[in-house]
Chains A and B, each alone.
Chain A
Amino acid sequence: MALGVDVGSTTCKAVAVDGEGRVVARRVEPTDPRIEPQVERVLRELREEAGAEGAPVGATGYGRKRVPAARALTEITCHARGAFAALGRAGVLVDMGGQDTKVIRIGPAGEVVDFAMNDKCAAGTGRFLEVILGRLRVPFEEVAGQVARAGRPVPVSSTCTVFAESEVISLVAGGEPLEGILKGLHQALASRVAALARGSAGEVFMSGGVALNPAMVAALGEALGRPVQVVPEPQLVGALGAALSVL
C-alpha cells in the first residue's frame, strides 16, 4: 500500500492506494495555512481508514517540501503518472488547478515528454472563475446549466482577474444577461489555456478541480477543436501519482 498527498495552494488532496495502485481512500480539503498539522491529520485518517499503517508517503504540490515523505516530486511528474495509471495511454493532459494550469505531454510509456505551465498569472487558472463566480454569487452546481442555456457569449476582455471582476460587474450593471457573461468567462479562460496546449497533437485529457465543471470542459474542447476526456476523479490525479511513485 502507499499514500500520496498533493498539497496545492488552494486544496489539499490525499489518497491511499492498495498494492495494485487502486485508490481505496481519499480526502479533499481546502489547504490550511498551517500545512504540517493538516497533512499529518489527513494521513493519519487515511491510514486508519485504509488500514495502511506503515505505508510510505509520496508528496507533491507547492507544499511538498513541508511533508515528511519518502519522495517529493513535482506535480508535473505526478500528474503524468496518475493520469497514465487511470487511462493507460499517451496524450496531452491539461490540469487546471486553483492557482496554476499545466499542460503535460504524456508519452506511450507514461513518461513526461514535454510540459508548459501558466504559473505567472491567475487569469489562466481556476482562481479566475472562482473569484468572479464568487462575486456574482453563482453557486458552482448551477454554472454548467447556466452556460448551457446561454445565447451569445458576452466577451470579457480584461487579462487580469481583478480587473475582469470589475469589468463583469459593469457588464451586469449594464444589463447584459448573466448566462452570456458566464459563457464569455469560460471562453476567455479556455482560450488562454488552449494557447498553452495548441502546439501539442493527440488526445486531450483534463484533470484538476476545474475539470469538475462541465462548462469548462466543453469550452476547452471548443477552443482546442478536439474532444476533451476528463480523467476519473480529476482532483486526485496528482496525489495518485505521488502515491504510485512510492508504491
Chain B
Amino acid sequence: MYLEAELRSLVRELEPFAGRRLEPDRLAAALRLHEEIDGCRAALLDARPRLAVADAELYALLRRGEWLWPEDHLIELREARGRWPAGPVRPGVPVLVSGYVPEPPALFEVLEGAGAYVAADDYAAVGRRVVRAANPAGDPWQALLARYWAAPPCSTRSADHGERIRHLGALLDRSGARGVILHVLKFCEPELFDVPVLRRTFEERGVPVLYLEGELEAGLSGQVVTRVEAFVEMLSAGRAA
C-alpha cells in the first residue's frame, strides 16, 4: 500500500545520511519506547482533572517531548507521575481545548488566572499525537503503520468528521469539560475547514464554544486575554451560550 511504499522509500533515502541501515530490531525497540512514552502521556492527560499541577507546567513537560531524546523524556514523564499524584478533582472551570499548537504558553497562565484549566486536550501537537493502541507483536513495519492509523483523528490527516465528533464527544464526557475553546492559528486550512462542523456539533449539545484565532509568533494580545476571561466568566456563571 502507498503509505508503506512511501515510508520505505523515505528510509532508503535517509540511510546514506545516517550511515547505517534501518534494522527491524532497532525499529521494534524504538516502537516499544514510544509506546511507553505515549502510555505515560495518555495517563497524564486522562488524569489531568485530578492532578494538582498548573497547565503551564504540564504543557511545558509535554512539549519538551518534541525536543528531548525520547529516553530522557520518558524519565521525566515517569518522575512526573510520582510528583503529581492523582487527588480529588481540582478546582476551576474545566475546558476542552482543540487546536493546532498550544502557543503562546502565556495563554495557560491567562486561563489559570481566569479560574479555568484544560481538562481535555485535542491539540494536533499534543493530544492528537498520543497513540493508545496496543502494539501487535510481529513485523515492526506493520506496527509502525498501525500506529499511524491508530492516532486520534486530526484534520491535518484529513480525518472523517464523524470520527472527530465521536472522539471529541468522548473527551468531553470523560473530562466533564463545561466549555470548548477552538484555538485556531492563522492560516491552518485543515483546522479552519473543520470549525463549522465542530461549532455546530457543540452547539447542538448545548456546550458553549469560544473561537480563538491566534498567530504563531505574536505574543498574547489584549483581545485574546479579554475573550478568554469573558468566556470563563460566562462558564462560571453557568449561563448557556
Q: Closest A-chain residue to B217, C-beta based?
A: A157
SS of B interface (majority): loop
For window 150-172 of chain A, which residues contact chain B by CB distance below 8 Å? 155, 157-159, 163, 166-167, 170
A170 to B220, CA, bound (A): 13
Q: Are A167 and B222 in contact (CB under 8 A)?
A: yes
Q: Closest B-chain residue to A170, C-beta based?
A: B222
- Mark interface residues in B212-224 (1 if CB within 8 Å of A CB, else 0): 0001001101110
Q: Are B222 and A155 in contact (CB under 8 A)?
A: no
Q: Are A155 and B221 in contact (CB under 8 A)?
A: no
Cβ contacts under 8 Å, B219 to chain A: 155, 157
Q: Closest A-chain residue to B223, C-beta based?
A: A163
Cβ contacts under 8 Å, B223 to chain A: 163
A100 to B222, CA, bound (A): 26
Give how many A residues have a beta carbon under 8 Å from the other chain's beta carbons.
8
A166 to B226, CA, bound (A): 13
Count of A-B contacts with CB under 8 A? 15
Q: Are B222 and A159 in contact (CB under 8 A)?
A: no
Q: Are A157 and B221 in contact (CB under 8 A)?
A: yes
Cβ contacts under 8 Å, A167 to chain B: 221-222
A157 to B223, CA, bound (A): 13
A163 to B224, CA, bound (A): 12
A192 to chain B, nearest CB (A): 13
Q: Closest B-chain residue to A156, C-beta based?
A: B219
For window 123-181 of chain A, which residues contact chain B by CB distance below 8 Å? 155, 157-159, 163, 166-167, 170
Cβ contacts under 8 Å, A170 to chain B: 222
Cβ contacts under 8 Å, A158 to chain B: 218, 221
For window 51-85 of chain A, which residues contact chain B by CB distance below 8 Å? none
A29 to B115, CA, bound (A): 54
A155 to B222, CA, bound (A): 14
Q: Closest A-chain residue to B104, C-beta based?
A: A157
B83 to chain A, nearest CB (A): 33
Q: Are A166 and B218 in contact (CB under 8 A)?
A: no
A157 to B220, CA, bound (A): 8
A209 to chain B, nearest CB (A): 28
Cβ contacts under 8 Å, A155 to chain B: 219
Cβ contacts under 8 Å, A159 to chain B: 215, 218
A165 to chain B, nearest CB (A): 11
A161 to B221, CA, bound (A): 13
Q: Closest B-chain residue to A158, C-beta based?
A: B221
A5 to B223, CA, bound (A): 42
Q: Closest A-chain residue to B218, C-beta based?
A: A157
A163 to B218, CA, bound (A): 13
A166 to B215, CA, bound (A): 18
Cβ contacts under 8 Å, A163 to chain B: 221-223
A223 to chain B, nearest CB (A): 16
- Mark interface residues in B197-241 (1 if CB within 8 Å of A CB, else 0): 000000000000000000100110111000000000000000000
B77 to chain A, nearest CB (A): 33
A157 to B219, CA, bound (A): 6
A155 to B104, CA, bound (A): 15
A157 to B221, CA, bound (A): 8
Most buried by A among B215, B219, B221: B221
Cβ contacts under 8 Å, B215 to chain A: 159
A170 to B215, CA, bound (A): 21
Cβ contacts under 8 Å, B221 to chain A: 157-158, 163, 167
A240 to B50, CA, bound (A): 72
A158 to B215, CA, bound (A): 11
Q: Closest B-chain residue to A160, C-beta based?
A: B221
Cβ contacts under 8 Å, B218 to chain A: 157-159
CB-based closest 3 A-B pairs? A157-B219, A157-B218, A166-B222
Known pairs A159-B215, A163-B222, A167-B221. 12 more at Cβ < 8 A? Answer: A155-B219, A157-B218, A157-B219, A157-B221, A158-B218, A158-B221, A159-B218, A163-B221, A163-B223, A166-B222, A167-B222, A170-B222
User: What are 15 A-B pairs at a CB distance below 8 A?
Assistant: A155-B219, A157-B218, A157-B219, A157-B221, A158-B218, A158-B221, A159-B215, A159-B218, A163-B221, A163-B222, A163-B223, A166-B222, A167-B221, A167-B222, A170-B222
Interface residues, chain B, CB within 8 Å of chain A?
215, 218-219, 221-223
Interface residues, chain A, CB within 8 Å of chain B?
155, 157-159, 163, 166-167, 170
